[in-house]
Amino acid sequence: MVINMAEKKKTVSKKTSKTKEVKEQKIDNEIEEKIELPEKKKYSQEEIDAATKAAKSDMVKEIVPYIIIIIVVVIIRTFIMTPIDVSGESMYPTLHDNDIMLLYKLRLKTVGIRRFDIVVINTDEGKLIKRVIGLPGDKIKYEIVRDDDGNTKGILYINGETVEENFIDEAAKASTCKYNNIDICEKEVEVPKDEYYVMGDNRGNSKDSRIIGPVKKESIKGITSVVIFPFNRFGSVK
């Protein structure tokens, strides 16, 4: 019988391949027998609950400081003080347009409103920043006179006595009665109970109690006296 050489080589190749696969399988089995894989640990429900509780506790501990900070900021801004910006030139030169100041709210209850305090007032047209001139019950009058040198001067009378306004110059004082029909420039005016007579330091360019009348105590939201920005104006004002 004649055997084809190609078929003989093919048969030998198959046997060799099969023998190799058997040896590799045997080696794999021996390796698996020698290597002991650790068993996956099973946790009880109590351990799972404890781990979950610990994770939640850690999360709360991380969040609590931020919550406290937010609460403190809200309390401070609502009841103690808050930044406020100056809009306009009605308080110039004491305050400038775009100045940022601290508004003290708590002081309304602890100290109260005093004469010449700078206050922030809520109106239908927005917030006003003015200076308190007359307190509840005060009788106010303003006179424009000429001195011996012919210079115009403004004089503030409160309850029949002259009161110095050291926070403004003579030109500003002389402008107090610039507008027509200013009540305090024509006669003595009594400030009603729980109301305040306010004016801007820039008397010639200020919408205040000379025009809108005295403001109610409840409309005054706080007292301000410190500029915090711009930094070259940082500090207290008179």
Domain count for the chain, please give it.
1
Distance CA 30, CA 21 (A): 14
Q: Where are the beta strands (DSSP E) in 56-125?
A: 81-85, 100-104, 118-123
Residue 152's beta-bridge partner residues?
A: 146
The answer as to whether 161 is a domain residue is yes
| CATH number of the CATH domain containing 230 | 2.10.109.10
The pLDDT of residue 17 is 52
Asked if residue 147 belongs to a domain, the reply is yes
Q: Is residue 151 part of a domain?
A: yes
In a domain, 62, yes or no: no
* 173 close to 164: Cβ distance less than 8 angstroms: no
- What are the tens digits of pLDDT across the range 152-194? 999 999 999 999 999 999 999 999 998 888 999 999 999 999 9
Answer whether residue 51 is part of any domain. no
pTM: 0.72
pLDDT value for 39: 62
- Let me know if residue 215 belongs to a domain: yes
Kindly list the catalytic residues: 90, 130
Name the residue range of residue 226's domain: 79-236
**Which tens digits make up the pLDDT trace of 102-144?**
999 988 889 999 999 999 999 988 899 999 999 999 999 999 9
| Cβ atoms of 126 and 85 closer than 8 Å | no
Read off the DSSP letter of residue 87. Answer: -
Q: Is 180 helix (H, G, I), strand (E, B) or coil?
A: coil
Query: pLDDT tens across 202-228, in order?
Result: 999 999 999 999 999 999 999 999 999
Percent of the chain predicted with pLDDT > 90: 57
Q: Which two tokens stand for residue 119?
A: 């206050």
Q: Are 104 and 80 in contact (CB under 8 A)?
A: yes
> Is there a contact between 206 and 178 (Cβ–Cβ < 8 Å)?
no
In a domain, 67, yes or no: no
Is the model's pLDDT at 60 over the cut of 80?
A: no
Residue 38 lies in a domain: no
Q: How far apart are the first and last CA of the chain?
A: 128
Distances (CA, A) of 207 to 51, 60, 89, 105, 238: 66, 52, 11, 23, 20
Mean pLDDT across the chain: 84
pLDDT at 95 over 70: yes
| pLDDT of amino acid 57 | 76
Q: What distance in Å separates the CA atoms of residue 137 and residue 52, rounded to the nearest whole number? A: 67
